[in-house]
Amino acid sequence: MTTVQEDRDTRDLRSIAEQAGRDLEDASALEILQWAVDTFGGKFCVTSSMEDAVVAHLASRARPARGPVDVVFLDTGYHFPETIGTRDAVEAVMDVNVITLTPRQTVAEQDAEYGPALHDRDPDLCCALRKVKPLEEGLTSYDAWATGLRRDESPTRANTPVVGWDEKRRKVKISPIARWTQDDVDAYVAEHGVLTNPLLTDGYASVGCAPCTRRVLEGEDARAGRWAGRSKTECGLHG
Ligand code: SF4
């Protein structure tokens, strides 16, 4: 049950999100992140799948007064070694504070309770246990979080606001590169020498957990390699 104060705080945050969504639609990604760190300070974090470090890099340039921005990474226990390596490299070289969240159960503990390869039999439950729940718990101390969602990635992301209200978690949700194209991302990476996951140059256009990610074929959209052959297109973090 929420308190009166929590309800009031939530109303304030929601109105901040709605106003900023209108005001910042045409702002640059850096301007949006500067607004986020100025508005929320230590109550703001960036989430990263470690596909690339573009949003983390932008956030490091926004320079909050309180110090480096928190960059939250979900370690599901099923990542490619290249993804963990990218996380470690970001932590080593970038001026951000990397925070790694883990599910309550290890993969072995999950296998013991639910049986092996839950990702093949019930990927929605696997994602709920290994992604959605840990993120929900990890975000409790923040008022606002940023993602790397882009409108051009898939039809399900075509209406992503640059700043919106995350009703599920009652947080301000910021997508500073929502309007960017893949070419914009590539240009930013090249200009600033931003770290990227090596799998992106090995046929993977989008990088998730190893059992649920394959290389994309010529002409497929960037997310076609995620949960390929299954009726699932999103992990539940953004739904
Ligand atoms: Fe499990 Fe696959 Fe979801 Fe990763 S992407 S949490 S392995 S179902």
In order along its 239 residues, the chain shows pLDDT tens digits of 566 666 768 889 999 999 999 999 999 999 999 999 999 999 999 999 999 999 999 999 987 677 899 999 999 999 999 999 999 999 999 999 999 999 999 999 999 999 999 999 999 999 999 999 999 999 999 999 999 999 998 888 999 999 999 999 999 999 999 999 999 999 999 999 999 999 999 999 889 999 999 998 888 877 777 777 666 666 667 76
pLDDT at 208: 94
Rounded-to-integer distance, Cα 122 and Cα 17, Å: 34
Q: Is the CB of 74 under 6 A from ligand 1?
A: no
Strand partners, 84: none
Give the residue extent of every domain in the chain.
Answer: 4-202
- Reported ipTM: the value is 0.99
Rounded-to-integer distance, Cα 171 and Cα 92, Å: 29
pLDDT at 166: 94
Q: Which residues contact 63 (CB under 8 A, 6 or more apart)?
A: 37
Residue among 83, 53, 73, 105 nearest 210 (CA): 83
Q: Annotated binding residue at 45?
A: no
Q: Annotated binding residue at 209?
A: yes
| Whether 235 is catalytic | yes
Q: Is 20 exposed, middle or buried (0-12, 13-18, 19+ CB in 10 A)?
A: buried
The number of the ligand 1 atom at minimal distance from the alpha carbon of 119 is 8
Which of 131, 133, 207, when mutated, tests ligand 1's pocket best, judged by the most ligand atoms within 8 Å of its CB?
131
Counting Cα atoms < 13 Å in the Cβ hemisphere of 41 gives 3
Residue among 64, 15, 3, 54 nearest 188 (CA): 54
Rounded-to-integer distance, Cα 53 and Cα 57, Å: 6
The number of the ligand 1 atom at minimal distance from the alpha carbon of 126 is 1
Q: Is the CB of 142 under 6 A from ligand 1?
A: no
Find the helix or strand (DSSP H, E) in which 72 lies. strand 70-74
Counting Cα atoms < 13 Å in the Cβ hemisphere of 39 gives 21
The number of the ligand 1 atom at minimal distance from the alpha carbon of 211 is 7
pLDDT at 228: 73
Overall fold of domain 4-202? Rossmann fold (3.40.50)
Q: Is the CB of 78 under 6 A from ligand 1?
A: yes
Q: Annotated binding residue at 127?
A: yes
pLDDT at 153: 85
For ligand 1, the distance from its centroid to the CA atom of residue 194, given in whole angstroms, is: 26
Catalytic pick from 29, 36, 53, 235? 235
pLDDT at 48: 96
For ligand 1, the distance from its centroid to the CA atom of residue 101, given in whole angstroms, is: 15
